[in-house]
Each structure stands twice: as structure tokens, then as C-alpha cells.
Chain A
Amino acid sequence: GQQVMQIPQYQHVQEGEDFTTYCNSSTTLSNIQWYKQRPGGHPVFLIQLVKSGEVKKQKRLTFQFGEAKKNSSLHITATQTTDVGTYFCAGYDNYGQNFVFGPGTRLSVLP
């Protein structure tokens, strides 16, 4: 079945450093969504990418969808303590049958 992996599993950064998490699918995705979950909270939708090679920005966050639509990345520039949490990618396979979440990348930001 479809598998979605994320690396790294954990990342500790100093405040002000950049951070990147990578999402890789075993199958081609029709779309990719990114969610953020604060400690003790619930996942909150950040963004969706649909087109091959698409890049979207939200302030310090840059999201990219790979050309082959099998991978994606989330890059945070100059991290802040408010960025702490777990970032999940999720997507549908091309048949639209399975919506699968990656295991997430937990980000810690040291002040």
C-alpha cells in the first residue's frame, strides 16, 4: 500500500536557524497537504499543493511539491519559538483512494 515517510523524525534548532522537513511517498500523489500540531494540540491545516513543481510561501514558510509529485518539503526560515510542534504531510494517491499521513517531524526551537 501507499506509504508516506518524513525525515527527519526530530529536529532541534537554535532560534533563528532554518529548518527543513522532507516528505516522500511510495506512490504518486494527487495532492499534498501540510499540517502543524502544537504540543498537546490537534493538527491544524497549513497549506495544500496540487501542481507538479508547485511552490507556495506563507511568511517564513516555503512549501514545495516535487516535479514527480512523489515528494514535498517544508522550509522554515529563521525559526521562532512559536514554530515548535510536529509537522505532518498528508496526501491522496493518484487513484484518490487512500489519504495517508506521514509520521511527522517534531521541531524543537531553543531560545
Chain B
Amino acid sequence: DAEITQSPRHKITETGRQVTLACHQTWNHNNMFWYRQDLGHGLRLIHYSYGVHDTNKGEVSDGYSVSRSNTEDLPLTLESAASSQTSVYFCASRQAGDLDTQYFGPGTRLTVL
């Protein structure tokens, strides 16, 4: 069955370190998204991609970057991790249109000490 996976599921790192969170989907979806989830803020969009080599900034993109070299993967990189980036990160994908469902990965819990 097609699915969307994230790794690692849990990560503890130190301030200033570079961290990359992986997202892999086998739906063959064109659109992929990264969100962070914090208490009281719901899901906030970090970056998104509508296809290979396409990336766009979301609402809270500062301190994060993404790259899309193939359809299946959209890794999220924290260039220099900060304590404010401690959060749960969700990757999501959808086929193409605005009216399509987003399918979410299981999430990565990141702690920055």
C-alpha cells in the first residue's frame, strides 16, 4: 500500500547543530508539505513543494530549508537548530489540486536542547 513515512520519529539535538528530517511518500503525489505543530498554534506551514525542483516558503519558514530532487522525498533541514524549533513536525502530501486530501506522515518529535 502507498504510504508516507518520516524519519527519525524522535530526535534530540543541541542548539546550533544542523538537523535534517526525512519525508518519503510512495503515493506519487506532486504536492508535499511540512508543518510544525505546537500547543495553541495548531499546524503551521513551513515549506511546500508542488513538484520536482519546486519549493515555496510557508508561514513560518525562517530557519528552515527544503529541497525536492525527486517526487518521493522532501527533506526538511534546520540549518542551525534553536530551542524555539522544538516541536512536532508533520510531513504531508496530496495529489495535485487544491481540493485534494492531504495525507499526513506519523510525525517527528524534535527536541533542541
Contacts and interface: CB of A to CB of B under 8 A. Distances in A.
A, B: real partners? yes
**A: contact size bracket:** 20 to 34
Interface in A11-45: 30-31, 33, 41-45
Interface in B43-93: 43-45, 59, 90, 92
Given A43-B90, A101-B43, A104-B42, A48 B99 contact: yes
B101 A88 contact: no
**B: contact size bracket:** 10 to 19
A100 B101 CA distance: 14
Given A30-B98, A99-B98, A42 B107 contact: yes
| Among all A-B residue pairs, the 8 with the closest Cβ atoms | A103-B42, A101-B43, A42-B104, A45-B101, A101-B42, A43-B104, A104-B42, A92-B98
Interface of B: 35, 40-45, 59, 90, 92, 98-99, 101-107
Given A42-B107, A96-B98, A100-B45, 15 more contacts: A30-B98, A41-B106, A42-B90, A42-B104, A42-B106, A43-B90, A43-B104, A45-B101, A45-B102, A45-B103, A48-B101, A50-B99, A99-B45, A101-B42, A102-B42
